[in-house]
Amino acid sequence: MNFKVLTLFPDMILNTLKTSITGRAMESGCLNVSAYDIRDYAFNKHKSVDDYPYGGGAGMLMQAEPIFQAYQDITKESKEKPRCIYLTPQGQTFTQKMAEEFAQEEELVLLCGHYEGIDERVLEEVVTDYVSIGDYVLTGGELPAMILIDAVSRLIPGVLHNDASAEFESFQENLLEYPHYSRPEEWRGKKVPEVLLSGHHLRIEEWRREQSILRTALRRPDLLEKADLSEKEQEFLGK
Ligand code: 6GU
């Protein structure tokens, strides 16, 4: 998987993703992240990439031409025109389902905006997907781009060493995960639930499923509406 990030802050992307699991995946070769500095494609001698908005208003806009030049340069060797995701609070809210869809692509271009936004004309020309990470406003698209890369990367074969860990987890079935416990068996007077020590795999499975459902009902009732529950489970919830 190949991510190409267009940004004014390439170091922010590379320094962050080089740590931990994404860093290891990059070293092993199953993940590739390149960050390109839009400023390198500025066309004036001051290397400026922003200007005032026509019609007035607060703040500056990123100009069309440097972004277009950068986009053309980084995609000139692409077989097919890759999807180009613009990270913006005006986009579709990012979900696990979208992460799964993006994980099918061989190459993705991510465009990070700054200032008050980007000249609409270059967006029309290069962007295929508008993606937001939630209903709040950030200073730029770099953190959202890294969140998208992280969520997509862990779905790529070889990135997580434990195959099962991407299998059952929150959101897969619109249920939150059950609670986890490790040693010691008792911590500050709190005991690990008896069933987990029983070695009875079927009962453990049942307990975990029940905990997932209860936890989802309590913390994310909106998700539970979309979960696939048996009649018995719906009864158990009093539905
Ligand atoms: Cl993708 N960008 C910015 N600047 N703010 C956001 C966002 C994206 N998603 C939520 N807030």
Which atom from ligand 1 is nearest to the alpha carbon of 139? 4
Instruction: Report the pLDDT value the prediction gives residue 173, as an integer from 0 to 100.
Output: 87
CATH number of residue 215's parent domain: 1.10.1270.20
Report how far ligand 1's centroid is from the alpha carbon of 85 (Å). Answer: 12
Within a domain: residue 34? yes
Q: Which two tokens stand for residue 131?
A: 């993606």
Report how far ligand 1's centroid is from the alpha carbon of 10 (Å). Answer: 17
Boundary-marking domain end, from 86, 121, 153:
153
Instruction: Report the pLDDT value the prediction gives residue 162, as an integer from 0 to 100.
Output: 67
Residue 12 in contact with residue 144, Cβ under 8 Å? Answer: no
Residues with CB under 6 Å of ligand 1 are 87-89, 132-134, 136-138, 140-141, 144
Task: Say whether both 120 and 228 belong to one domain.
Answer: no
Instruction: Report the pLDDT value the prediction gives residue 25, as an integer from 0 to 100.
Output: 96
Report how far ligand 1's centroid is from the alpha carbon of 93 (Å). Answer: 10
How many separate domains does the chain show? 2
Give the H/E segment covering residue 191: strand 190-191
Task: Say whether both 120 and 174 belong to one domain.
Answer: no
Low-confidence ranges of the chain (pLDDT < 50): none
Within a domain: residue 161? no
Instruction: Report the pLDDT value the prediction gives residue 171, as an integer from 0 to 100.
Output: 73
CATH number of residue 125's parent domain: 3.40.1280.10
Residue nearest to atom 8 of ligand 1 (CA): 88
Instruction: Report the pLDDT value the prediction gives residue 50, as an integer from 0 to 100.
Output: 97
In tens, the pLDDT along 78-129 reads 999 999 999 999 999 999 999 999 999 999 999 999 878 999 999 999 999 9
Instruction: Report the pLDDT value the prediction gives residue 167, as an integer from 0 to 100.
Output: 56
Interface confidence, given as ipTM, is 0.95
| Phi and psi torsions of 107, nearest 5° | -140, 135
For residue 9, give its domain range.
2-153
Instruction: Report the pLDDT value the prediction gives residue 2, as an integer from 0 to 100.
Output: 97
DSSP state of 227: S
Within a domain: residue 162? no
Was 51 annotated as part of a binding site? no
CA 85 to CA 7: how far, in whole Å? 12
Within a domain: residue 45? yes
Was 133 annotated as part of a binding site? yes
Report how far ligand 1's centroid is from the alpha carbon of 113 (Å). Answer: 9
Q: Which of 110, 138, 143, 147 to mutate to test the pocket of ligand 1 (most atoms within 8 A of CB)?
A: 138
Was 110 annotated as part of a binding site? no
Task: Say whether both 21 and 121 belong to one domain.
Answer: yes
Task: Say whether both 229 and 144 belong to one domain.
Answer: no
Which atom from ligand 1 is nearest to the alpha carbon of 113? 4
Task: Say whether both 187 and 134 belong to one domain.
Answer: no
Instruction: Report the pLDDT value the prediction gives residue 23, as an integer from 0 to 100.
Output: 96
Alpha carbon of residue 39 to chain centroid: 25
Give the H/E segment covering residue 69: helix 64-74
What residues form DSSP beta bridges with 36? Answer: 6
Task: Say whether both 139 and 45 belong to one domain.
Answer: yes
Task: Say whether both 48 and 119 belong to one domain.
Answer: yes
Which atom from ligand 1 is nearest to the alpha carbon of 135? 10
